[in-house]
A and B are shown apart, each in its own frame.
Chain A
Amino acid sequence: MLNQLTISELRTRLTKRAASSRELVQACLDQIKRVDPKVHAFLSVDEQDALAQAEIADRAIAAGLPQPLLGIPIAVKDVLAVKGHSLQCGSKILDKFVSPYDATVIARLRKAGAIVFGRLNMDEFAMGSSTENSAFGHTRNPWDLERVPGGSSGGSSAAVAADECIASLGSDTGGSIRQPAALCGVVGVKPTYGRVSRYGLVAFASSLDQIGPFAKDVRDAAILTRVIAGHDSLDSTSIPEPVPDYAIQLTGDIKGLRLGLPKEYFIGGMDKEVAAAVQTAVKHLESLGAVTQEISLPHTDYAVATYYIIATAEASANLARFDGIRYGMRVEGADPNELYMKTRGAGFGAEVKRRIILGTYVLSSGYYDAYYLRAQKVRTLIRADFLKAFEQVDAIVTPTSPTPAFKAGEKSDDPLQMYLSDIFTISCNLAGISGISVPCGFTSSPKLPIGLQLLGKPFGEGTLFRIAHAYEQSTNWHKERPEWTTKPS
């Protein structure tokens, strides 16, 4: 089935005319019809629009155009603006919102020939680790429908794992790409802060947010990252740094590369099977010629607290724009203040309200120095830990998540427990460095994916792809699929 293949495999078939983009898009749409009533990765799919794009792509293929994603269907998290399409961020407050322009990453996908389709479910405003916070229903983990797919980009990871699309885009503020990629058994990339333009990404925490890809293998992730990365004058935080051709760095050779194992990440509380799988993966990387050494990231234990001050503070400012005046839902009031209070009270879900309130508190008069300023200073220490470590090693190896996918409802009433599930992914955003999660095994019963996280220097994506690719190509974890999703209907 075409929908099970990778970008590289499909590009060969499309170029040879062994398959058409229309057939490929139809295969994805058929798979969505078959599995999505159970998985609920998609909030909506505009079939006619996707098929129309495919016909244009097929004409371009016939004309011999060489774009890297020509004819490939890529689905998009509901946090990115796609002109003329709905954008709700999983929230009622953006009721009936239609994007007036394309995000820069969407424009770049289109320029590369991709079929941009579908709105993928997410935790409301990307706040969550389980995709249970969507106002439009939970997404399920294709490996076990009683479990969460991770979050906040749970729709993006579940759709790739269930072969409903070839690849997808998500956003990562504290692990929202890497953690769901790990829990669903796919590859997920958090590029360096500033590597990918945030223009057209609805802001959650502007100093932490990055857009990145979900893919079925590392090569596809590298191809997609190259397409979406690069300077953009529409985002003043995007960095004018050239984008290398990551795919040519996938040599399979990692001999002599130095990998750091942070001792603070390999301590108690971790699921035993996750710990064992990661240790086996480390041995495997050593057998491929990588040199490992223990390192220390001494401020690791403060990362979650730092993150939940900085991220909520920035969110409270960013989400002030949802006031019922210019777009989205409005609940009328006798005066503007009453209108704001009622609109925001009715429009936001519980987790978004909690975080805005927390963020407002840590920025409020009398508490700013004690919370926000202190957290920004601890952020300096966390970043310094990483920069110091990268003087000794080329990349850092950790588990992506301390546990495999947990059951829906298990943590939804305990925000602090939910926050602690991001313990291994959060520091990467605070430090502004690059990260990737690749499949590295499964738990035995039930069979649930486990993810290996690699963290790299700022703009060190190429090294991460090289290591992850060498690992992946000598294992077969990334080829596994939830059995029920692969059976023909």
Chain B
Amino acid sequence: MPTPRSDFDVKYVANLARIQLTREEERKFSEQLKHVLGYIEKLRELDVSNVEPTAHAIPLVNVVRKDDVRPSMPHEDALRNAPSKANGLFLVPKIVE
């Protein structure tokens, strides 16, 4: 087994990802992800200094289409799945005091 990464702070990263974890999840995920990160370290064995990165396997660049006017999704359809809505808008908690 590869050496687990010891410096991984699960609480900090979960906050960046906007996911609230329970204490038990923090403990468990921290241990599991340290192992996964330890495994991932194996990529350091390779010399990639002269290699270009691949973002997509089949490269397509500047994909354009004619700018035709087409109907878009009706307003009510876009709002239909909203957990909270009023007056044709999504309702959210107060953002500015």
Contacts and interface: CB of A to CB of B under 8 A. Distances in A.
B63 A432 contact: no
B56 A237 contact: yes
Interface residues of B, number: 52
B35 to A, nearest CB: 5
Contacts, number: 172
A325 B19 contact: no
B55 A207 contact: yes
A194 B55 contact: no
A361 B8 contact: yes
A327 interface: yes
B46 interface: yes
Given A237-B56, A302-B43, A416-B35, A380 B81 contact: no
Contacts of B52: 377, 380
Contacts of B81: 96-98, 100, 326-328
B88 interface: no
A69 to B, nearest CB: 27
A contact patch SS: helix
A376 B52 CA distance: 8
Contact of A364 (B13, B19, B54): B13
Interface stretch (A244-252, A261-269, A329-337): A329-337
B contact patch SS: loop
Given A330-B84, A357-B13, A193 B56 contact: yes
Contacts of A357: 10, 13-14, 17, 19, 29, 33
A176 to B, nearest CB: 17
A173 B33 CA distance: 21
Contacts of B84: 330
Counting contact residues on chain A (CB < 8 A from B), the size range is: 35 or more
A56 B49 CA distance: 60
Contacts of B20: 341-342, 344-346
A16 B95 CA distance: 65
A336 B95 contact: yes
A233 B57 contact: no
Nearest to A99: B81
A376 B54 contact: yes
Interface in A80-138: 96-98, 100-101
A59 interface: no
Given A193-B56, A364-B13, A375-B43, A354 B29 contact: yes
Contact of B58 (A193, A354, A416): A193
A377 B40 contact: no
A371 interface: yes
A432 B65 CA distance: 24
B80 interface: yes
B57 A432 contact: yes
A239 to B, nearest CB: 6
The 4 A-B residue pairs whose C-beta atoms are closest, nearest first, are A432-B57, A345-B20, A376-B53, A327-B81
Interface of A: 96-98, 100-101, 192-194, 207, 233, 236-237, 239, 299, 301-302, 304-306, 308-309, 316, 320, 323-330, 332-342, 344-346, 348, 350, 353-354, 356-358, 360-361, 364, 371, 373-381, 383, 414-416, 419, 430-433, 458
